[in-house]
Amino acid sequence: MKTVVISLLLIPCTFFAQSFDVNNEPSIGSLVSLHLCDSNANILAGTVGSNAVWDFSQISGIFGITKDVQILDATQDANYASFSGATQLYDIGGNLQTFYATTPNGRISQGFVFNEVSLGAVVASWNIDAENLMTYPFGFGGNPLIDNFSGTVTSGLTGTVPSTGSSVAMVDGSGTLMLPGGNSYTAIRYHLKDSANATVFGTNVAFVRDVYEYYDFSASNLPVFIAMKINVSSALLNNSSTVILSKDQPLTFVGLEEAKIPSFTLYPNPTAESLTLKGLNHGTAYAIHNILGECMEEGTYHHPIQVSNWPAGIYFVKTNDGVETFIKK
């Protein structure tokens, strides 16, 4: 790890009472169930600095849905072979699993796993140069931690490709966190933003993770509120997902936001010869692009599409109803 520490000249280097250290490191088996909240709430960044007030008391929830946030034994996970050296697995509701190890000096990540709508399960393994998440003690008023990391990214569609990235981690605020039901917490906020890049079939794909976690160590060594966004983008692809979780149940609710699922499916997938668009009405307009954004074919659908002469790779079928992905073998 090549780590750079930058001094914040405008913030006094005085740690507040709460900071991350070995004494409040969550142990394997630690678990808290958080309530799933409205992902459309625009609260990702919010207030920074001392004496901050983060008022999320009016946030709406998704009725009846909770997500477990827990620390698991990394060595027992099916993906452990990609994360050698990790001892703990930090699982945020099954949406994001971060593999890491704790030392007396801080927390180091060997990578993470998440499910992406177009690429499927993505395994980001920093097996060449691990990512530094925090150095103990790590609290508000300290220095942000800037790090470079490298390794590989693997998915069913892309295979395994080299990847490099950079991250900034800091405790960017200290103050009062207000959650539904009139509950307040004396909290610090940990902010991690990292980005990794990989070249897939000749084009750059960027993976950006932006996570805000609010901690009150008198309540739990795990966060009491989480807001995170993961974005995957390339010349053609631009997908993002946001997850917001609260220790206290919201008092108002919204319906579970349904993802826009295309009304058609593709088969066979992968394919070497032809592609059938099942469920698509005859005469429906479509276009097929490669991962570089180049249009390979467009028209109105009447019969299976011949792709035998196309180069192997990932392709996107677009209609007015959505986008589906297939692999040409």
Predicted local confidence at residue 17, as pLDDT: 57
Poorest-confidence range of 84-88, 161-165, 197-201? 197-201
Is residue 246 one of the residues assigned to a domain?
yes
Whether 12 has a pLDDT exceeding 60, the answer reads no
Q: Are residues 39 and 66 in the same domain?
A: yes
What is the distance between the alpha carbons of residues 21 and 181, in angstroms, rounded to a whole number?
30
Query: Which distant-in-sequence residues (6+ apart) come within 8 Å of 303 by Cβ?
Result: none
What is the distance between the alpha carbons of residues 329 and 317, in angstroms, rounded to a whole number?
16
What is the distance between the alpha carbons of residues 184 and 77, in angstroms, rounded to a whole number?
35
Residue for token digits 């954004």?
Answer: 293
Mean pLDDT of 270-298: 84
Whether 15 has a pLDDT exceeding 50, the answer reads no
Residue for token digits 């933003």?
Answer: 193
The residue segments making up the domain with residue 285 are: 265-328
Whether 39 has a pLDDT exceeding 70, the answer reads yes
Is residue 260 one of the residues assigned to a domain?
no
Q: Are residues 213 and 299 in the same domain?
A: no
Is residue 298 one of the residues assigned to a domain?
yes
Query: Which of 254, 277, 294 is the last residue before a domain boundary?
Result: 254
Give residue-wise pLDDT tens across range 123-135. Answer: 999 999 999 999 9
CB of 326 within 8 A of CB of 272? no
What is the number of structural domains in the chain? 2
Q: What's the pLDDT band for 321 if we cut at 50, 70, 90?
A: low
Whether 293 has a pLDDT exceeding 90, the answer reads no
Q: Are residues 64 and 6 in the same domain?
A: yes
What are 264's two structure tokens?
A: 């058609």
Predicted local confidence at residue 294, as pLDDT: 82
Q: How far apart are the first and last CA of the chain?
A: 37
Residue with the larger pLDDT of the pair 113 and 289: 113
Whether 315 has a pLDDT exceeding 70, the answer reads yes
Task: Out of 55-64, 78-87, 272-281, give the one with best mean pLDDT.
Answer: 78-87
Q: Are residues 64 and 190 in the same domain?
A: yes
Whether 117 has a pLDDT exceeding 80, the answer reads no
Q: Are residues 194 and 284 in the same domain?
A: no
Q: What's the pLDDT band for 201 if we cut at 50, 70, 90?
A: confident
Query: Which of 214, 229, 254 is the last residue before a domain boundary?
Result: 254
Q: Are residues 310 and 183 in the same domain?
A: no
Mean predicted lDDT score pLDDT of the chain: 87
pTM of the model: 0.77
Q: What's the pLDDT band for 257 if we cut at 50, 70, 90?
A: very low
Percent of the chain with pLDDT strictly greater than 70: 91
Whether 56 has a pLDDT exceeding 80, the answer reads yes
Q: How many residues does the chain have?
A: 329
Whether 70 has a pLDDT exceeding 60, the answer reads yes
What are 4's two structure tokens?
A: 């750079």
CATH number for the domain that contains residue 278: 2.60.40
- In sign, the C-alpha dihedral spanning 296, 299, 305, 306 is negative
Query: Which of 203, 220, 254 is the last residue before a domain boundary?
Result: 254
Q: Are residues 87 and 34 in the same domain?
A: yes
120-129 and 106-116 strand pairing: antiparallel
Q: Are residues 57 and 138 in the same domain?
A: yes
Phi-psi region of 158 (alpha: psi -120 to 50; beta: other; left: phi over 0): alpha
Q: Within 10 A of 209 (CB to CB), how many other CB atoms are there?
A: 21
